[in-house]
Amino acid sequence: MGICSICGGEKNKVYRTVSHTFHGITIKLKNQEVYVCGKCGEIYYPAGLLDSIEQMIISRQREKGLSIDEKNKTTVLF
């Protein structure tokens, strides 16, 4: 699982709701596998997780043709 790059503590796998904001839209994904440092509590996201959330946001923007104002208010919960 690896070692925390901040404090050198051990990282533990946990399931968390991950929230990421991109282009003014916040997407929350439940039960995502992330790693949390047992010492300092720093959260490490698996490679590609935030990228895939950004891809979801981009595709939703295309589907709905959201304007800037609408985007700022939109929260999408999966």
**Site of interaction with Zn ion (CB under 5 A):** 4, 6-7, 9, 37, 39-40, 42
- Find the shortest distance in angstroms from Cβ 43 to Zn ion: 10
DSSP 65: T
Q: Which is nearer to Zn ion, 39 or 64 (CB)?
A: 39
Give CA–CA dist 70/78, Å, rounded: 19
Q: Which is nearer to Zn ion, 10 or 51 (CB)?
A: 10
- Find the shortest distance in angstroms from Cβ 8 to Zn ion: 7
Mention every residue, 6+ apart, whose C-beta is less than 8 A from residue 22. Answer: 53, 54, 57, 58
Q: Which is nearer to Zn ion, 10 or 33 (CB)?
A: 10
34 forms bridges with which residues in the sheet? Answer: 14
- Find the shortest distance in angstroms from Cβ 47 to Zn ion: 18
For residue 27, give the H/E element and its range: strand 25-37
